[in-house]
């Protein structure tokens, strides 16, 4: 039996069903789970003092492209819309291989962990030069985050009227075969799973209808989730209308891409009928506010999603369209954007944090994560509110208003991934140096 006691937190934001907030409280973790919350708890195991800290469930990232951390702030892609931005970056990504995928994933995961993330998804839709999903799964295991890997793919290259160059697309039968391979090798359906795998064709504009349909059939057969990009901006909707003769929501529904086992990234341009469809079918949304701002895609109707009962989580999106990967910063951006549209009460700090924790966990089909209650997984973020960012705050638990945006400690399945602000088990300096070496090679 292994126990860790997080003792004397100024506030524990439980994000349980009653959204309880406990003052001066303790949190006892046992064998990878939350055992007890209360006052005066004791243990023979490890004790982490949390006076001066706010304790929250670990944050959950529902959409990312780790590999893009090697192409942040690329000149020529800094000021483009989605399709132009993709055309600038595709030829660079086509030169990647296993080493680029692995090192960029370590970088993205380290950045997420330091910003409080315990559970993340990644949408890896390029596999050039021998790169495999295995390369990013190995990185997640090295950093120690809980991982929802997704086997993405593109199959319609330029020569067939698609957007990506032919070098980045794969044969559809081979894509489905490799989906089966990685599900069989890595997917763990158990509640304590550290790795799960989902099936994730890149987007309606880079794969065929047939692949979308077959991917949904395969995922249902294997009992895994489905993920893609949908209705990201006006160009994306126009492509759907022109190519398929229907809006993105209709396209998704026709091909089996709605349901509690499906989550779509962005959904900036969903209309009222599509929002009702997502609510009724319990389809999830990965809201990526910084990326949507960065690419000028628009403001996703998150207030309408939430009011209609659509499940919403947060995503930092790929590091080439953010270009940061700070999940706490993303929660703040989500809150601010809804206020731009709806006024000062458009989204509270607590609601933004709820979307960033239990909201994301539910979207990823992990309701045992994203809340601190007995029986939940022991995924915990500890925020030191005695630093400069929160100095003067009357309500330090309103974390997305005043800081900090970096954790002091992070535990996943009860294991310490960050301690006193330092990543455990990996050398951050070495990861940054490797990343620098690969970027210089790409720029040469």
| Residue with Cβ nearer Zn ion (67 or 251) | 67
331-363 burial, b at 16+ Cβ within 10 Å, e below that, comes to: bbbbbebbeeeeeeebbbbbbbbbbbbbbbbbb
| Residue with Cβ nearer Zn ion (68 or 258) | 68
Residues 6 or more apart in contact with residue 7 via CB below 8 angstroms: 26, 41, 47, 48, 49, 50, 51
Instruction: Name the DSSP class of 424.
Output: S
| Residue with Cβ nearer Zn ion (150 or 435) | 150
Nearest-approach distance from CB 64 to Zn ion, in angstroms: 8
- What string of DSSP letters covers 5-27? EEEEEEEEE--STT--EEEEEEE
Nearest-approach distance from CB 286 to Zn ion, in angstroms: 8
| Residue with Cβ nearer Zn ion (26 or 317) | 317
Nearest-approach distance from CB 320 to Zn ion, in angstroms: 9
| Residue with Cβ nearer Zn ion (48 or 211) | 211
Nearest-approach distance from CB 163 to Zn ion, in angstroms: 14
**Binding interface with Zn ion (CB under 5 A):** 317
| Residue with Cβ nearer Zn ion (292 or 385) | 292
Nearest-approach distance from CB 264 to Zn ion, in angstroms: 10
- What string of DSSP letters covers 353-418? HHIIIIIHHHHTT-TTSSS-STTSB--EEEEETTSGGGTT-S-TT-TTTS---S-SEEEETTEEEE
Q: Is 81 left (phi over 0), alpha (psi -120 to 50) or beta?
A: beta
Cα-based angle 133, 136, 140 (whole degrees, multiple of 5): 135
Nearest-approach distance from CB 33 to Zn ion, in angstroms: 32
Does the CA dihedral 260-265-268-271 come out positive or negative?
negative
> Which 3 state secondary structure label does DSSP give 100?
helix
| Residue with Cβ nearer Zn ion (22 or 265) | 265
| Residue with Cβ nearer Zn ion (261 or 317) | 317
**Quick one: how far is CA 8 from the chain centroid?**
30
Nearest-approach distance from CB 293 to Zn ion, in angstroms: 14
Nearest-approach distance from CB 63 to Zn ion, in angstroms: 6
Residues 6 or more apart in contact with residue 133 via CB below 8 angstroms: 124, 127, 149, 151, 178, 182, 186, 197
| Residue with Cβ nearer Zn ion (6 or 267) | 267
Tokens 């070496």 belong to 437
* Cα–Cα nearest to 370, from 36, 19, 45, 38: 19
Residue nearest to Zn ion (CB): 317
Nearest-approach distance from CB 317 to Zn ion, in angstroms: 5
Q: Distance between CA atoms of 398 and 419, rounded to whole angstroms?
A: 23
Instruction: Name the DSSP class of 127.
Output: -
């Amino acid at each position: 039996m292994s126990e860790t006691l997080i003792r004397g937190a100024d506030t524990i934001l439980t994000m349980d069903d009653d959204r309880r907030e406990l003052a001066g409280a303790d949190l006892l973790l046992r064998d990878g789970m939350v055992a007890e919350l209360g006052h005066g708890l004791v243990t023979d195991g490890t004790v982490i003092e949390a006076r001066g800290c706010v304790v929250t469930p670990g944050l959950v990232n529902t959409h990312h492209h780790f590999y893009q951390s090697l192409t942040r702030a690329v000149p020529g892609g800094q000021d483009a819309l989605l399709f132009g931005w993709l055309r600038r970056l595709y030829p660079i990504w086509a030169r990647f291989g296993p080493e680029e995928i692995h090192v960029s994933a370590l970088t993205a995961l380290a950045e997420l962990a330091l910003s409080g993330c315990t559970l993340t998804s990644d949408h890896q839709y390029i596999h050039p030069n021998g790169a495999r999903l295995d390369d990013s799964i190995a990185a997640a295991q090295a950093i120690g985050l809980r991982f929802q890997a997704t086997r993405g793919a593109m199959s319609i290259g330029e020569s067939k009227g698609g957007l990506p160059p032919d070098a980045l697309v794969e044969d559809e039968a081979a894509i489905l075969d490799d989906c089966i391979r990685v599900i069989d090798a890595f997917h763990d359906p158990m509640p304590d799973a550290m790795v799960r795998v989902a099936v994730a064709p890149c987007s309606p504009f880079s794969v065929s209808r047939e692949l979308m349909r077959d991917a949904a059939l395969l995922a249902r057969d294997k009992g895994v989730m489905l993920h893609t990009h949908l209705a990201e901006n006006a160009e994306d909707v126009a492509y759907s209308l022109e190519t398929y003769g229907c809006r993105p929501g209709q396209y998704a529904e026709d091909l089996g891409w709605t349901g509690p086992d499906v989550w779509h990234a962005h959904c900036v341009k969903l209309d009222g009928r599509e929002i009702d469809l997502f609510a009724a079918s319990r389809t999830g949304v990965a809201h990526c506010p910084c990326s949507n701002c960065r690419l000028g895609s628009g403001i996703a109707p998150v207030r309408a999603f939430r009011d209609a009962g659509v499940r919403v989580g947060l995503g930092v999106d790929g590091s080439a369209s953010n270009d940061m990967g700070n999940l706490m910063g993303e929660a703040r951006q989500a809150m601010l954007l809804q206020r731009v549209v709806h006024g000062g009460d458009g989204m509270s700090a607590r609601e933004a944090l709820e979307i960033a924790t239990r909201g994301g966990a539910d979207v990823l089909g992990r309701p045992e994560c994203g809340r601190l209650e007995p029986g939940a997984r022991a995924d915990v973020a500890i925020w030191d509110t005695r630093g400069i960012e929160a100095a003067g705050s009357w309500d330090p638990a309103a974390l997305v208003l005043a800081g900090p945006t970096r954790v002091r400690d992070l535990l996943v399945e009860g294991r310490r991934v960050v301690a006193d602000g330092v990543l455990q088990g990996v050398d951050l300096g070495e990861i940054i140096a490797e990343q620098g070496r690969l970027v210089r090679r790409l720029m040469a």
